[in-house]
Amino acid sequence: MDALDEADEPLTPTGRMLLNPEMDQIIHSVIGVDCPIDVQSVKDEISKSVMIQHPRFSSLLVRDDHGRERWRKIQVEIDRHIIVHQRPITGDSLSGLTDEEAVNEYIADLAVSSPLSTDKPLWEVNILLAHKCAVLRVHHALGDGVSLVSLFLSCCRRADDPSQLPTILTVGEGSSSSSSTAGSNLSLGRLLKTVWLTALYVLEFVLRSLFLKDKRTVMSGGDGVEHWPRKVATAKFNLEDMKAVKRAVTGSTINDVLLAVISSGLSKYLQHRSPKAVEEGLRITGVAFVNLRKQPGLQELSNLMNKKSGSRWGNKFGIVLLPLHYHTDVTDPLQHVRRTKAMVDNKKLSMEAWFSYILAHLVTYCFGSKVATKLIKSVVNNTTFTISNVYGPQEVLTFAGHTITYMRVNTSSLSHATTMHMLSYAGKAELQILVAKDIIPDPHVLANLFENALLEMKEAALEQAE
């Protein structure tokens, strides 16, 4: 307990919810480089960066005499936030691990067993010297994916011109969000459709928080699964392949293509694991976290830090439920894209994401963060997977003199048996697949199915263009 300081800042309702033990979320960003890491250079760069000056990265979480959480500004001790691992990650393998396997195993362990210390600001950098990468661990209460990636990019420089910051693209085609509003110039028919879809999706959201569940499959999680041991696998995509598929289905987006890949891959995985136990058309519901800022995509840091900006810093996201379906009768791979596009178009037209955002805030104000957390966790318990996508930088970047070769992102475990987070970088997109290994023991199979699904869609798109 701490005496109240006038300079202390209260947490947002979302921040309080994300700090609740039942929904304690840490974002893990993996940054790989092309050469051995110079630890001192990294410390020096962080010490003089805007990150260390950011109020959330230089504030301690404290609680007043009434148990209310607040941020208190302190002097950051950089050495306490940089953790260096000299030895390679070996895991249980007797034959040794590749760098990718070792880092994924390290991330899998962090997902369930390594909370951040509350006696310092809620972030740290784990440097894995043997694997030439660093893991930036940031508590979700400090900000969402768009905020944190935008902040990190402000600390980087372009490899082709070190004097230049990365280009920030505020386009929505690949971000984790598209606008959930229908626009200001609505026709009556479109307005009525918006009202109808919003009512329909809001009703489902409420029912999901109460009792409505996906039918159980070999991929189902549930309450308590967030504490089970994890595995991580990485699916790798070429953005040009995704764009080729996008062009083949008029009006589609990168998000539509990603969801089509997920739909195809999950169907094939279920067919692989339990071919006779799943009925055609079975619904598999995903939970997507949707950026609600006025400008979708990454943001200029100055824009994020402007409190009057609609693109402000923090956690500004809603939840959208994504109904995918088990199909084994698909002869045209692009049919997955057409189906997901039709579903996502309706989701964009509705106000579902805004409703979940406002509802969580309202419940927190009226009943406290514990009740709001239980509501959101019930939605997760009653669905099958989590998905998010952040459209990252398309230029090759450097940090502290190190050229970045890849960027990946994941979070702490949820009660889903499968959570997936995609981040694009320099023409590539990597999907981190975090699974409960007692439920899904072979996430590498799932990763291969996703990769093959995109290649099949690309081939179909090229055939269609001929």
**What domains sit in the chain, N to C, each tagged with a CATH number?**
9-158 (3.30.559.10), 188-390+413-465 (3.30.559.30)
The pLDDT assigned to 183 comes to: 43
CB 115 within 8 A of CB 24: yes
375-386 burial code (b ≥16 CB/10 A, e <16): bbbbbbbbbbbb
The pLDDT assigned to 181 comes to: 40
The pLDDT assigned to 296 comes to: 56
Write the Ramachandran bin of 163: left for phi over 0, alpha for psi from -120 to 50, otherwise beta. Answer: alpha
d(CA 71, CA 58) in angstroms, rounded, equals 9
d(CA 56, CA 10) in angstroms, rounded, equals 11
What single-letter DSSP state applies at residue 140? G
The pLDDT assigned to 109 comes to: 94
The pLDDT assigned to 357 comes to: 92
The pLDDT assigned to 66 comes to: 73
pLDDT truncated to tens, each residue of the chain (466 aa)?
455 566 788 888 888 888 888 888 999 999 999 999 999 999 999 999 888 888 899 999 998 777 788 999 999 999 999 999 999 888 766 567 899 999 999 999 999 978 899 999 999 999 999 999 999 999 999 988 888 888 888 889 999 998 888 876 554 443 333 334 444 455 888 889 999 999 999 999 999 999 999 999 999 999 999 999 999 999 999 999 999 999 999 999 999 999 999 999 999 999 999 888 788 889 999 999 988 877 555 555 555 555 655 556 778 889 999 999 999 888 899 999 999 999 999 999 999 999 999 999 899 889 988 999 999 999 999 999 999 998 888 899 999 999 999 999 999 989 999 999 999 999 999 999 999 999 999 999 999 999 999 999 999 999 998 7
CB 356 within 8 A of CB 318: yes
Closest listed residue to residue 36, CA positions, set 134, 113, 173: 134
d(CA 142, CA 26) in angstroms, rounded, equals 10
Angle between the N-to-C axes of helices 352-367 and 369-381, in degrees from 0 to 180, rounded to the nearest 10: 140
Long-range contacts (CB closer than 8 Å, 24 or more residues apart) made by 95-101: 99/32, 99/131, 99/132, 99/133, 100/234
What is the pTM for the complete model shown? Answer: 0.90
